[in-house]
Structure 1
Protein backbone atom coordinates (compact mmCIF):
# COMPACT_ATOMS: atom_id res chain seq x y z
CA UNK A 1 0.00 0.00 0.00
CA UNK A 2 2.76 2.49 0.89
CA UNK A 3 4.65 1.68 -2.29
CA UNK A 4 1.55 2.38 -4.37
CA UNK A 5 0.97 5.62 -2.45
CA UNK A 6 4.60 6.66 -2.96
CA UNK A 7 4.34 5.96 -6.71
CA UNK A 8 1.10 7.93 -6.89
CA UNK A 9 2.72 10.91 -5.10
CA UNK A 10 5.72 10.68 -7.43
CA UNK A 11 3.46 10.70 -10.52
CA UNK A 12 1.51 13.61 -9.10
CA UNK A 13 4.67 15.63 -8.53
CA UNK A 14 6.02 14.79 -11.99
CA UNK A 15 2.65 15.59 -13.59
CA UNK A 16 2.46 18.95 -11.83
CA UNK A 17 6.06 19.70 -12.75
CA UNK A 18 5.50 18.86 -16.38
CA UNK A 19 2.19 20.68 -16.44
CA UNK A 20 3.66 23.86 -14.97
CA UNK A 21 6.92 23.79 -16.92
CA UNK A 22 5.52 25.78 -19.89
CA UNK A 23 4.43 28.47 -17.45
CA UNK A 24 7.71 28.53 -15.57
CA UNK A 25 9.98 28.55 -18.63
CA UNK A 26 7.85 30.70 -20.93
CA UNK A 27 10.22 33.64 -20.55
CA UNK A 28 13.21 33.97 -22.82
CA UNK A 29 14.06 34.58 -26.44
CA UNK A 30 13.39 32.14 -29.25
CA UNK A 31 14.32 32.41 -32.92
CA UNK A 32 11.15 32.07 -35.00
CA UNK A 33 12.66 32.54 -38.48
CA UNK A 34 15.84 33.70 -40.19
CA UNK A 35 16.64 34.43 -43.82
CA UNK A 36 19.81 35.54 -45.58
CA UNK A 37 19.25 37.21 -48.94
CA UNK A 38 21.74 38.50 -51.46
CA UNK A 39 21.43 42.16 -52.39
CA UNK A 40 23.99 43.39 -54.92
CA UNK A 41 27.35 42.20 -53.57
CA UNK A 42 26.39 41.73 -49.92
CA UNK A 43 24.10 39.43 -47.93
CA UNK A 44 21.42 40.81 -45.63
CA UNK A 45 19.82 39.09 -42.67
CA UNK A 46 16.09 39.16 -41.93
CA UNK A 47 15.10 37.48 -38.67
CA UNK A 48 12.26 37.31 -36.19
CA UNK A 49 12.76 36.58 -32.49
CA UNK A 50 10.02 36.00 -29.94
CA UNK A 51 10.93 37.89 -26.73
CA UNK A 52 9.12 37.06 -23.49
CA UNK A 53 10.15 38.89 -20.31
CA UNK A 54 9.69 37.74 -16.74
CA UNK A 55 7.31 39.81 -14.59
CA UNK A 56 10.32 41.32 -12.77
CA UNK A 57 11.89 42.52 -16.04
CA UNK A 58 8.55 43.89 -17.28
CA UNK A 59 8.17 45.81 -14.03
CA UNK A 60 11.73 47.16 -14.24
CA UNK A 61 11.14 48.28 -17.84
CA UNK A 62 7.93 50.09 -16.88
CA UNK A 63 9.77 51.82 -14.04
CA UNK A 64 12.36 53.32 -16.38
CA UNK A 65 15.08 50.70 -16.83
CA UNK A 66 16.44 50.61 -20.39
CA UNK A 67 16.83 47.08 -21.76
CA UNK A 68 19.48 46.50 -24.41
CA UNK A 69 19.15 43.42 -26.60
CA UNK A 70 22.24 42.32 -28.47
CA UNK A 71 21.96 40.29 -31.66
CA UNK A 72 25.03 38.34 -32.72
CA UNK A 73 25.74 36.86 -36.14
CA UNK A 74 28.77 34.90 -37.16
CA UNK A 75 29.81 32.98 -40.23
CA UNK A 76 32.35 30.18 -39.88
CA UNK A 77 33.96 27.49 -41.98
CA UNK A 78 35.72 24.57 -40.36
CA UNK A 79 39.31 23.80 -41.27
CA UNK A 80 41.03 20.58 -40.24
CA UNK A 81 44.50 22.13 -40.15
CA UNK A 82 43.84 25.30 -38.17
CA UNK A 83 41.20 27.22 -36.24
CA UNK A 84 37.83 27.79 -37.90
CA UNK A 85 37.74 30.59 -40.44
CA UNK A 86 35.46 33.51 -39.38
CA UNK A 87 34.81 35.71 -42.41
CA UNK A 88 31.99 37.57 -40.64
CA UNK A 89 31.28 38.32 -36.99
CA UNK A 90 28.92 41.24 -36.31
CA UNK A 91 26.71 42.47 -33.48
CA UNK A 92 23.90 44.95 -33.25
CA UNK A 93 22.13 46.45 -30.28
CA UNK A 94 18.48 47.36 -29.86
CA UNK A 95 17.37 49.44 -26.89
CA UNK A 96 13.86 49.34 -25.43
CA UNK A 97 12.74 51.96 -22.92
CA UNK A 98 9.50 53.27 -21.48
CA UNK A 99 8.60 56.99 -21.55
CA UNK A 100 6.18 57.64 -18.66
CA UNK A 101 5.17 61.15 -19.83
CA UNK A 102 3.96 59.95 -23.21
CA UNK A 103 3.11 56.43 -21.97
CA UNK A 104 4.93 54.94 -24.93
CA UNK A 105 7.77 52.50 -25.45
CA UNK A 106 10.77 53.67 -27.44
CA UNK A 107 12.83 51.32 -29.59
CA UNK A 108 16.27 52.47 -30.80
CA UNK A 109 18.66 50.63 -33.07
CA UNK A 110 21.54 51.77 -35.29
CA UNK A 111 20.60 55.46 -35.23
CA UNK A 112 16.91 54.80 -35.92
CA UNK A 113 14.24 55.12 -33.25
CA UNK A 114 10.46 55.06 -33.03
CA UNK A 115 7.72 54.68 -30.42
CA UNK A 116 4.88 52.21 -29.92
CA UNK A 117 1.97 52.10 -27.48
CA UNK A 118 2.34 48.70 -25.78
CA UNK A 119 5.11 46.55 -24.35
CA UNK A 120 4.09 43.69 -26.60
CA UNK A 121 4.58 45.86 -29.71
CA UNK A 122 7.92 47.08 -28.34
CA UNK A 123 9.24 43.56 -27.79
CA UNK A 124 7.94 42.48 -31.18
CA UNK A 125 9.72 45.41 -32.84
CA UNK A 126 12.93 44.71 -30.89
CA UNK A 127 12.79 41.09 -32.05
CA UNK A 128 12.34 41.92 -35.73
CA UNK A 129 15.46 42.45 -37.83
CA UNK A 130 15.26 43.45 -41.46
CA UNK A 131 17.98 44.22 -43.97
CA UNK A 132 20.97 43.91 -41.62
CA UNK A 133 24.17 43.59 -43.67
CA UNK A 134 26.03 40.65 -42.17
CA UNK A 135 28.25 39.32 -44.98
CA UNK A 136 30.40 41.26 -47.45
CA UNK A 137 31.33 39.71 -50.79
CA UNK A 138 35.03 40.47 -50.32
CA UNK A 139 35.20 38.29 -47.19
CA UNK A 140 33.90 34.98 -48.57
CA UNK A 141 34.59 32.45 -51.31
CA UNK A 142 31.53 31.84 -53.50
CA UNK A 143 32.42 28.18 -54.03
CA UNK A 144 32.52 27.18 -50.36
CA UNK A 145 29.85 26.33 -47.80
CA UNK A 146 29.79 28.04 -44.40
CA UNK A 147 27.86 27.73 -41.14
CA UNK A 148 25.81 30.79 -40.17
CA UNK A 149 24.95 31.27 -36.49
CA UNK A 150 22.53 33.71 -34.92
CA UNK A 151 21.35 34.53 -31.40
CA UNK A 152 19.91 37.36 -29.29
CA UNK A 153 20.63 38.14 -25.63
CA UNK A 154 19.72 40.73 -23.05
CA UNK A 155 23.00 42.62 -22.64
CA UNK A 156 23.47 42.71 -18.87
CA UNK A 157 26.62 44.85 -19.14
CA UNK A 158 24.45 47.80 -20.28
CA UNK A 159 22.35 47.72 -17.10
CA UNK A 160 23.20 50.06 -14.19
CA UNK A 161 25.65 48.43 -11.74
CA UNK A 162 23.11 47.57 -9.01
CA UNK A 163 20.99 45.73 -11.58
CA UNK A 164 24.05 43.89 -12.91
CA UNK A 165 24.66 42.52 -9.40
CA UNK A 166 20.99 41.53 -9.14
CA UNK A 167 21.15 39.86 -12.56
CA UNK A 168 24.03 37.64 -11.41
CA UNK A 169 21.88 36.28 -8.59
CA UNK A 170 18.55 36.12 -10.46
CA UNK A 171 18.00 33.66 -13.31
CA UNK A 172 14.99 35.64 -14.58
CA UNK A 173 17.35 38.39 -15.75
CA UNK A 174 19.47 36.10 -17.92
CA UNK A 175 17.37 36.29 -21.06
CA UNK A 176 18.93 34.78 -24.18
CA UNK A 177 18.17 32.57 -27.13
CA UNK A 178 19.98 29.44 -28.17
CA UNK A 179 22.30 29.71 -31.14
CA UNK A 180 20.52 28.97 -34.40
CA UNK A 181 23.04 27.37 -36.75
CA UNK A 182 22.36 26.61 -40.39
CA UNK A 183 24.40 26.02 -43.57
CA UNK A 184 25.05 29.00 -45.82
CA UNK A 185 26.12 28.67 -49.44
CA UNK A 186 26.80 31.96 -51.24
CA UNK A 187 25.78 30.44 -54.57
CA UNK A 188 22.11 30.27 -53.49
CA UNK A 189 19.95 33.42 -53.61
CA UNK A 190 18.09 32.97 -50.30
CA UNK A 191 18.97 30.85 -47.31
CA UNK A 192 16.08 30.29 -44.91
CA UNK A 193 16.28 28.67 -41.47
CA UNK A 194 13.39 27.99 -39.11
Structure 2
Protein backbone atom coordinates (compact mmCIF):
# COMPACT_ATOMS: atom_id res chain seq x y z
CA UNK A 1 0.00 0.00 0.00
CA UNK A 2 2.82 2.39 0.91
CA UNK A 3 4.58 1.60 -2.35
CA UNK A 4 1.39 2.31 -4.30
CA UNK A 5 1.00 5.71 -2.57
CA UNK A 6 4.63 6.58 -3.33
CA UNK A 7 4.16 5.71 -7.02
CA UNK A 8 0.96 7.77 -7.16
CA UNK A 9 2.70 10.73 -5.52
CA UNK A 10 5.63 10.46 -7.95
CA UNK A 11 3.20 10.37 -10.90
CA UNK A 12 1.34 13.48 -9.66
CA UNK A 13 4.59 15.39 -9.16
CA UNK A 14 5.72 14.52 -12.69
CA UNK A 15 2.47 16.01 -14.07
CA UNK A 16 2.87 19.24 -12.12
CA UNK A 17 4.01 22.10 -14.41
CA UNK A 18 7.62 23.09 -13.90
CA UNK A 19 8.23 26.67 -12.74
CA UNK A 20 9.41 29.06 -15.40
CA UNK A 21 13.18 29.38 -15.63
CA UNK A 22 14.62 32.41 -13.92
CA UNK A 23 15.50 35.19 -16.31
CA UNK A 24 19.22 35.37 -16.99
CA UNK A 25 20.79 38.82 -16.92
CA UNK A 26 24.42 37.87 -17.43
CA UNK A 27 26.50 39.42 -20.17
CA UNK A 28 28.75 37.86 -22.76
CA UNK A 29 31.62 39.23 -24.82
CA UNK A 30 30.72 38.56 -28.45
CA UNK A 31 33.68 40.27 -30.15
CA UNK A 32 37.24 41.08 -29.22
CA UNK A 33 39.77 42.66 -31.58
CA UNK A 34 43.30 44.02 -31.24
CA UNK A 35 44.50 46.50 -33.87
CA UNK A 36 47.57 48.55 -34.67
CA UNK A 37 46.95 52.22 -35.47
CA UNK A 38 49.28 55.03 -36.47
CA UNK A 39 49.39 56.33 -32.90
CA UNK A 40 49.20 53.14 -30.84
CA UNK A 41 47.57 49.78 -30.18
CA UNK A 42 43.80 49.62 -29.65
CA UNK A 43 41.33 47.05 -28.37
CA UNK A 44 37.69 46.93 -29.52
CA UNK A 45 34.99 44.73 -28.04
CA UNK A 46 31.27 44.05 -28.22
CA UNK A 47 29.18 42.94 -25.24
CA UNK A 48 25.70 41.44 -25.29
CA UNK A 49 23.28 41.67 -22.36
CA UNK A 50 19.64 42.38 -21.58
CA UNK A 51 18.92 45.17 -19.16
CA UNK A 52 16.82 43.81 -16.26
CA UNK A 53 13.48 45.46 -15.56
CA UNK A 54 14.62 46.49 -12.07
CA UNK A 55 17.64 48.39 -13.46
CA UNK A 56 15.46 50.02 -16.13
CA UNK A 57 13.00 51.17 -13.44
CA UNK A 58 15.84 52.77 -11.49
CA UNK A 59 17.02 54.56 -14.65
CA UNK A 60 13.50 55.84 -15.39
CA UNK A 61 13.45 57.43 -11.91
CA UNK A 62 16.44 59.57 -12.93
CA UNK A 63 19.12 57.58 -11.09
CA UNK A 64 22.26 57.03 -13.17
CA UNK A 65 23.86 53.61 -13.57
CA UNK A 66 27.54 53.05 -14.29
CA UNK A 67 29.30 50.48 -16.47
CA UNK A 68 33.02 49.70 -16.55
CA UNK A 69 35.05 48.09 -19.34
CA UNK A 70 38.61 47.00 -18.55
CA UNK A 71 41.32 45.41 -20.65
CA UNK A 72 44.73 43.98 -19.77
CA UNK A 73 47.37 42.95 -22.30
CA UNK A 74 50.24 40.59 -21.43
CA UNK A 75 53.55 39.52 -22.90
CA UNK A 76 54.15 35.78 -22.72
CA UNK A 77 57.23 34.53 -20.89
CA UNK A 78 58.26 30.89 -21.07
CA UNK A 79 60.32 31.08 -17.86
CA UNK A 80 57.78 32.84 -15.63
CA UNK A 81 54.19 34.06 -15.53
CA UNK A 82 53.10 36.40 -18.31
CA UNK A 83 54.03 40.06 -17.77
CA UNK A 84 51.30 42.71 -17.90
CA UNK A 85 52.40 45.37 -20.38
CA UNK A 86 49.22 47.43 -20.71
CA UNK A 87 46.00 48.12 -18.82
CA UNK A 88 43.13 50.46 -19.67
CA UNK A 89 39.66 51.22 -18.30
CA UNK A 90 36.61 52.99 -19.66
CA UNK A 91 33.85 54.28 -17.38
CA UNK A 92 30.34 54.91 -18.67
CA UNK A 93 27.53 56.73 -16.87
CA UNK A 94 24.03 56.30 -18.30
CA UNK A 95 21.23 58.58 -17.09
CA UNK A 96 17.71 59.55 -18.13
CA UNK A 97 16.90 63.26 -18.40
CA UNK A 98 13.16 63.55 -17.52
CA UNK A 99 12.84 67.18 -18.68
CA UNK A 100 14.12 66.51 -22.19
CA UNK A 101 13.06 62.83 -22.24
CA UNK A 102 16.46 61.92 -23.59
CA UNK A 103 19.22 59.57 -22.49
CA UNK A 104 22.69 60.88 -21.69
CA UNK A 105 25.85 58.78 -21.80
CA UNK A 106 29.11 60.08 -20.31
CA UNK A 107 32.29 58.19 -21.18
CA UNK A 108 35.61 58.82 -19.39
CA UNK A 109 38.95 57.13 -18.64
CA UNK A 110 38.44 57.68 -14.89
CA UNK A 111 35.47 56.98 -12.58
CA UNK A 112 32.66 59.49 -13.11
CA UNK A 113 31.50 60.97 -9.83
CA UNK A 114 28.39 63.14 -9.58
CA UNK A 115 29.93 65.19 -6.77
CA UNK A 116 33.17 66.01 -8.56
CA UNK A 117 31.63 66.78 -11.94
CA UNK A 118 32.32 64.81 -15.08
CA UNK A 119 35.83 66.14 -15.78
CA UNK A 120 37.20 65.14 -19.16
CA UNK A 121 34.47 63.00 -20.65
CA UNK A 122 32.70 62.37 -23.92
CA UNK A 123 28.99 63.19 -23.71
CA UNK A 124 26.36 61.74 -26.04
CA UNK A 125 22.58 62.14 -26.10
CA UNK A 126 20.11 59.53 -27.38
CA UNK A 127 16.39 59.54 -28.05
CA UNK A 128 15.79 55.99 -26.80
CA UNK A 129 17.19 53.64 -24.17
CA UNK A 130 17.96 51.02 -26.85
CA UNK A 131 20.16 53.49 -28.75
CA UNK A 132 22.01 54.42 -25.55
CA UNK A 133 22.54 50.76 -24.62
CA UNK A 134 23.88 50.00 -28.10
CA UNK A 135 26.58 52.61 -27.45
CA UNK A 136 27.36 51.05 -24.05
CA UNK A 137 27.68 47.58 -25.60
CA UNK A 138 30.16 48.69 -28.28
CA UNK A 139 33.54 49.30 -26.67
CA UNK A 140 35.52 50.93 -29.45
CA UNK A 141 39.23 51.74 -29.56
CA UNK A 142 40.51 51.37 -26.01
CA UNK A 143 44.08 52.65 -26.35
CA UNK A 144 46.48 50.21 -24.71
CA UNK A 145 49.68 52.11 -25.53
CA UNK A 146 52.41 52.46 -28.14
CA UNK A 147 53.47 49.48 -30.21
CA UNK A 148 57.05 49.88 -28.96
CA UNK A 149 55.88 49.41 -25.35
CA UNK A 150 53.69 46.42 -26.16
CA UNK A 151 56.05 44.54 -28.46
CA UNK A 152 55.69 42.82 -31.79
CA UNK A 153 54.69 39.33 -30.65
CA UNK A 154 52.65 37.24 -33.08
CA UNK A 155 49.79 36.95 -30.57
CA UNK A 156 49.11 38.75 -27.31
CA UNK A 157 47.22 37.33 -24.31
CA UNK A 158 44.35 39.72 -23.54
CA UNK A 159 41.83 39.77 -20.69
CA UNK A 160 38.68 41.89 -21.17
CA UNK A 161 36.10 42.53 -18.43
CA UNK A 162 32.76 44.34 -18.47
CA UNK A 163 30.47 45.00 -15.49
CA UNK A 164 27.67 47.06 -14.07
CA UNK A 165 29.30 49.04 -11.25
CA UNK A 166 26.90 49.03 -8.30
CA UNK A 167 29.43 50.86 -6.08
CA UNK A 168 28.52 54.09 -7.92
CA UNK A 169 24.83 53.87 -6.97
CA UNK A 170 23.44 56.07 -4.16
CA UNK A 171 24.05 54.52 -0.71
CA UNK A 172 20.47 53.27 -0.11
CA UNK A 173 20.54 51.39 -3.41
CA UNK A 174 23.96 49.87 -2.67
CA UNK A 175 22.51 48.27 0.46
CA UNK A 176 19.42 47.05 -1.39
CA UNK A 177 21.21 45.44 -4.34
CA UNK A 178 23.40 43.08 -2.32
CA UNK A 179 22.65 39.55 -3.46
CA UNK A 180 20.15 40.55 -6.17
CA UNK A 181 20.90 38.78 -9.45
CA UNK A 182 19.20 41.58 -11.44
CA UNK A 183 22.21 43.79 -10.72
CA UNK A 184 24.76 41.17 -11.74
CA UNK A 185 25.73 42.15 -15.27
CA UNK A 186 29.30 40.93 -15.74
CA UNK A 187 31.31 39.40 -18.55
CA UNK A 188 34.92 38.35 -18.96
CA UNK A 189 36.85 36.90 -21.87
CA UNK A 190 40.49 35.88 -22.25
CA UNK A 191 42.03 35.35 -25.67
CA UNK A 192 45.31 35.32 -27.58
CA UNK A 193 44.84 38.00 -30.21
CA UNK A 194 46.84 38.80 -33.30
CA UNK A 195 47.25 42.48 -34.10
CA UNK A 196 45.31 43.70 -37.15
CA UNK A 197 46.07 46.86 -39.07
CA UNK A 198 43.48 49.56 -38.27
CA UNK A 199 41.32 50.54 -41.27
> TM-score higher than 0.5 here?
yes
Structure 1 residues 88, 3: closer, same or farther in 2, change over 3 A? farther
Counterpart pick for 1:182 among 165, 184, 191: 191
What SS does the corresponding residue of 2:151 show, helix, strand or coil?
Answer: coil
What SS does the corresponding residue of 2:177 show, helix, strand or coil?
Answer: helix
Output one character per residue of 1:22-60: Cα deviation in whole Å (capped at 9) or x when no partner.
Answer: x611x2322222222211252222222123221111100
Q: TM-score, normalised by structure 2?
A: 0.79
1:9 aligns with 2:9: no
- Matched residue, 1:39: 37
Rounded Cα–Cα distance in structure 1 between residues aligned with 2:15 and 2:194? 48
- Runs of 5+ in structure 2 lacking a partner? 109-120
Shift of 1:160: 1.3
1:133 aligns with 2:148: no
RMSD: 2.4
Counterpart pick for 1:75 among 63, 73, 76: 73
- Matched residue, 2:102: 104
Counterpart pick for 2:162 among 129, 152, 161: 152
Counterpart pick for 1:65 among 63, 66, 78: 63
Bigger CA radius of gyration:
2
Output one character per residue of 1:83-129: Cα deviation in whole Å (capped at 9) or x when no partner.
Answer: 43000111110110000001111111132111112211111111112
Q: Is the CA contact (8 Å cut-off) linking 2:163 and 2:186 kept in structure 1?
A: yes
- Matched residue, 2:54: 56
Structure 1 residues 104, 28: closer, same or farther in 2, change over 3 A? farther
Greater share of helix residues, 1 or 2?
1
- Matched residue, 1:120: 130
- Matched residue, 1:166: 176
Rounded Cα–Cα distance in structure 2 between residues aligned with 1:155 and 1:91? 13
Q: TM-score, normalised by structure 1?
A: 0.81
- Runs of 5+ in structure 1 lacking a partner? none
